[in-house]
Amino acid sequence: MTENRFWRFDAYPDGTDFEQALSLQTVALPEPQDGEVIIRNKMLSLDAGTRMWITGREDGYQPPLPLNTPMVGLGIGEVVASRHAEVKIGDTVRAFGQWADYSVVTPEMSDLRVLDTSVDDLRQYFGVLGMNGWTALWGIQETGQATAGEKVLISAAAGSTGILACQIAKLMGCEVYATAGGHDKCRYLEQEFGVTKAFDYKSDDLAAEFAKIDGGFDVYFDNVGGPQLDIVLQNMALYGRIALCGLVAEYADEAGTHKLAQYDKILMKRLSVIGFFSPDFADQGDRLTQTLRAWYDDGQLSMPFDETKGLENMLTAYRKLFTGGNIGKTIVLL
């Protein structure tokens, strides 16, 4: 009998106290049913947006997870059993499965994709070639409509989506600005990725610093929301565009208590504010991946990884997303 360890969602967490909300369980691995496959996970992705899935909020972009069910997340692994006509044993795949040694999924419901293993680093299917890459490219090009010479500001810029958005905006000829937590992260963004100026939201006076930007920001790629958005609204250029893809400052806030104080600037500056989410353009994934792969193969896009080993250490890795403990993509290796 093969055993399968998985993290079970037991209770709504209080802040980053995930130990009281999730527990590691062990069960017998079932046989796949018709249409299912079983994936032996090699690595698991940690993503801030999943924090909303484990609240009681019913008004999010998808319903919350039911209590006492396996925690869901994106994984890369090898198919070890299949009762699906288009997925073979031995395929390397990416899918939304479980935080587990093995994920049991239905390909059509889990966005399962068989991966091209010619890439030199499979981790990049969580990074440059994954949903973070798709989101960064879509947000800069499509939602933000950035053009060469424009000033682009990116929040949470040392995280997995932000760090790619910085690079893509730079590749497009934009003048790139960023916010991140801590001087070390800011220096890293400036030195490694050519960011014109990175601001430390923990210690810099963002209002004063943004006011120095001549003409304001043409595009704001926002991963954060919260009070930082209010400061940016005051410092956008006329007819600026805000591409909103994340609310890391508010995911744990079930009441949604932050209210914009500078809402009027949307009218005064004739701003466009558009929320976007990767399932909205999942059907464009192959096209986006092709563009990203070309840049990656040419050495123009990169992703640093924050790695933790062992399924039992998932919660330690997960907490980094909300405490600023990571640079780049946070993953767990199994």
CATH of the domain at 75: 3.90.180.10
Instruction: Quote the pTM value.
Output: 0.93
The residue-averaged pLDDT of 260-270 equals: 93
> What integer pLDDT is reported at residue 54 of this predicted model?
92
**Do both 113 and 216 map to the same domain?**
no
> What integer pLDDT is reported at residue 242 of this predicted model?
98
> Which domain, by its residues, includes 64?
3-127+303-333
DSSP 65: P
290 domain residue, yes or no: no
**Do both 111 and 149 map to the same domain?**
no
Residue 180's CATH number: 3.40.50.720
Residue 248 has pLDDT above 80, yes or no: no
**Do both 161 and 272 map to the same domain?**
yes
**Do both 149 and 232 map to the same domain?**
yes
231 domain residue, yes or no: yes
**Do both 10 and 112 map to the same domain?**
yes
285 domain residue, yes or no: no
15 domain residue, yes or no: yes
Q: How confident is the model at residue 49 (pLDDT cuts 50, 70, 90)?
A: confident
> What integer pLDDT is reported at residue 246 of this predicted model?
84
Number of domains in the chain: 2
> What integer pLDDT is reported at residue 58 of this predicted model?
77
Residue 164 has pLDDT above 70, yes or no: yes
> What integer pLDDT is reported at residue 57 of this predicted model?
79
145 domain residue, yes or no: yes
Residue 251 has pLDDT above 90, yes or no: no
| 294: Cβ contacts below 8 Å, ≥ 6 apart | none
**Terminal alpha carbon distance of the chain:** 20
Pinpoint the alpha helices (H) of the chain.
Answer: 131-137, 162-171, 183-193, 206-210, 226-233, 265-268, 285-297, 314-323
The residue-averaged pLDDT of 160-182 equals: 97
**Do both 185 and 222 map to the same domain?**
yes
Model confidence pLDDT, tens digit, residues 266-308: 999 999 999 998 888 989 999 999 999 999 999 999 999 999 9
295 domain residue, yes or no: no
